[in-house]
C-alpha cells in the first residue's frame, strides 16, 4: 500500500485512513485480507523458552492457507506480504503485554 513513501508521506496517507479518533477506514480492496485475519485469529505457532511460558512466534501458514481457500481467497505473494505486516504488528502487541 504505502510502499516506497517517505515518512511524512506515509503518515499523511495513514492519517487519511482515519475518519475519527479510534476509527480506521481501510480500502475495500483489503476486505479479503481482513476476512482472512479474522478467520485465523487463533492460528499461531507457539514456542517456549525453557521453563518460560509458551509465546506466539508466527502465524501457522498451513492453517492460513486452508482458511483462505475456504473463504474463496487465492493466496498470492501480495496477500502474504500484507499478512506479514499484520502478523508483525500483532506479535509486537502480544509481546508488550505482561
Convert the pLDDT of each residue in 44-54 to its tens digit.
999 987 788 88
- The answer to whether residue 8 sits within a structural domain is no
Structural domain count of the chain: 1
- The answer to whether residue 73 sits within a structural domain is yes
Averaged pLDDT score across all residues of the chain: 82
- State the residue range of the domain holding 68: 27-96
- The answer to whether residue 91 sits within a structural domain is yes
Q: What is the pTM of this model?
A: 0.70
- The answer to whether residue 18 sits within a structural domain is no
In this predicted structure, the answer to whether residue 9 has a pLDDT above a threshold of 80 is no
Q: What confidence category does residue 93 fall into, taking pLDDT thresholds of 50, 70 and 90?
A: confident
- The answer to whether residue 64 sits within a structural domain is yes
- The answer to whether residue 17 sits within a structural domain is no
Q: b/e map of 38-75 (b: 16 or more CB within 10 Å)?
A: ebbeebbeeeeeeeeeeebeebbbeebeebbeeeebeb
Amino acid at each position: 500500500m504505502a510502499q516506497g513513501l517517505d515518512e511524512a508521506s506515509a503518515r499523511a496517507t495513514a492519517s487519511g485512513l482515519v475518519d475519527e479518533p479510534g476509527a480506521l477506514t481501510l480500502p475495500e480492496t483489503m476486505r479479503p485480507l481482513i476476512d482472512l485475519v479474522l478467520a485465523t485469529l487463533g492460528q499461531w505457532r507457539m514456542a517456549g523458552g525453557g521453563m518460560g511460558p509458551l509465546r506466539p512466534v508466527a502465524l501457522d501458514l498451513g492453517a492460513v492457507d486452508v482458511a483462505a481457500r475456504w473463504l474463496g481467497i487465492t493466496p498470492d505473494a501480495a496477500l502474504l506480504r500484507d499478512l506479514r505486516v499484520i502478523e508483525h504488528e500483532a506479535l509486537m502487541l502480544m509481546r508488550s503485554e505482561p
